[in-house]
Amino acid sequence: MKKILFLFPLLFSSLLFAQDENIKNLQSEANKTIKKNPEDTIPEKWKLGGIFSLNLSQGSLSNWAAGGEKFSLSVNTFINAYAFYQKGKHSWDNNFAANFGYINTTSLGSRKNDDRFDFLSKYGFSLNKHFNLATLVNFRSQFVKGYTYPQNVKTYASDFLSPAYLVVSQGMDYRPDNYFSFFLSPVTSRWVFVADTAISAKIDYGVKPGHYNINQNGAFATIGYKRSFNKYLAYNARVDLFSNYKKNPQNIDVFVTNTISAKIAKVFALSWNVDMIYDDDVKIFGKDESSPALQLKSIFGVGLQVKI
């Protein structure tokens, strides 16, 4: 009996010591930082981003002998946003660009000097490292009413969905790197919309007076290049070419847009946008205003620029 009483305190002490060690081990494990196994890391499938730019300029003159506008105000804004998805052999590339500019002077009044929005979506199925079987959808129009001013006469020329262009195309997409892409399709449908018949009656854009749209089938190609050379300089360009099988296929419609930006401070940058359009159906140029011609728009600005 005495031996049992002697062993009991030793057994109780051993249990307490073991319990204390277990508690210390649990506390130690709880305070450890868990490192994630790189093999368990799930790659991000969506890449999102863009650039927003706002340029302002204002001028005023009073008793200025050399002459000029008494007051002028110019505002130009630009946004370019993208969303890219990739999983396995599937990719989905989306890009939205919008430009809008407004100018007000004492002699000419207020008018827009830039107005465009453009949405491009392209789904691709990888055939090998550089070639994708791709489906492309592109929609382009402007936001508000626009006017031309021949001989200082204000003439209604455009509006929202007047005109608008929708392209649906199936073809091959070549991507040798992350900056350049070349899409080519011999099977393309393009719709030209003019929602306001008052515009189609004067400038038909290929749409007959009294009608709202026309469908054109042809070949389509688009070349894209987008690159940030460093943290200061970036360039974005696109060239679209369309040949209408039904009417004058040799007269290729051309749409070109270029934007180059150079940062001069953390949120300030120089920007230059150049757009060129040749549309064989827009025949409002020449002496008799019945000929197509190359349309050119160039806007240079200094202002706020931030990455989205």
Structural domains in the chain, CATH included, are: 116-307 (2.40.160)
Per-residue model confidence (pLDDT) at position 38: 47
Task: Inform me whether the pLDDT recorded for 45 exceeds 50.
Answer: yes
pLDDT, tens digit, 9 for 90 and up, residues 246-260: 999 999 999 999 999
21 band by pLDDT with thresholds 50, 70 and 90: low
43 band by pLDDT with thresholds 50, 70 and 90: low
Task: Inform me whether the pLDDT recorded for 203 exceeds 70.
Answer: yes
Q: Residue 197: beta bridge partners?
A: none
Q: Are 172 and 152 in contact (CB under 8 A)?
A: no
More confident residue, 64 or 23: 64
As a whole number of angstroms, the distance between CA 262 and CA 100 comes to 20
Tell me what the mean pLDDT of segment 291-307 comes to.
Answer: 91
Per-residue model confidence (pLDDT) at position 108: 80
Task: Inform me whether the pLDDT recorded for 205 exceeds 60.
Answer: yes
pLDDT, tens digit, 9 for 90 and up, residues 72-89: 889 999 999 999 999 999
Classify residue 41 by burial, with Cβ atoms within 10 Å: 0-12, 13-18, 19+. exposed
Helix or strand holding residue 229 (H, E): none
Classify residue 217 by burial, with Cβ atoms within 10 Å: 0-12, 13-18, 19+. exposed
Per-residue model confidence (pLDDT) at position 28: 55
Per-residue model confidence (pLDDT) at position 44: 59
Per-residue model confidence (pLDDT) at position 66: 65
Task: Inform me whether the pLDDT recorded for 9 exceeds 70.
Answer: no
Q: Are 95 and 82 in contact (CB under 8 A)?
A: yes
| Predicted TM-score (pTM) of this structure | 0.82
Per-residue model confidence (pLDDT) at position 152: 77
202 band by pLDDT with thresholds 50, 70 and 90: confident
118 band by pLDDT with thresholds 50, 70 and 90: very high
pLDDT, tens digit, 9 for 90 and up, residues 25-42: 544 554 554 444 444 444
174 band by pLDDT with thresholds 50, 70 and 90: very high
More confident residue, 122 or 30: 122
As a whole number of angstroms, the distance between CA 37 and CA 45 comes to 19
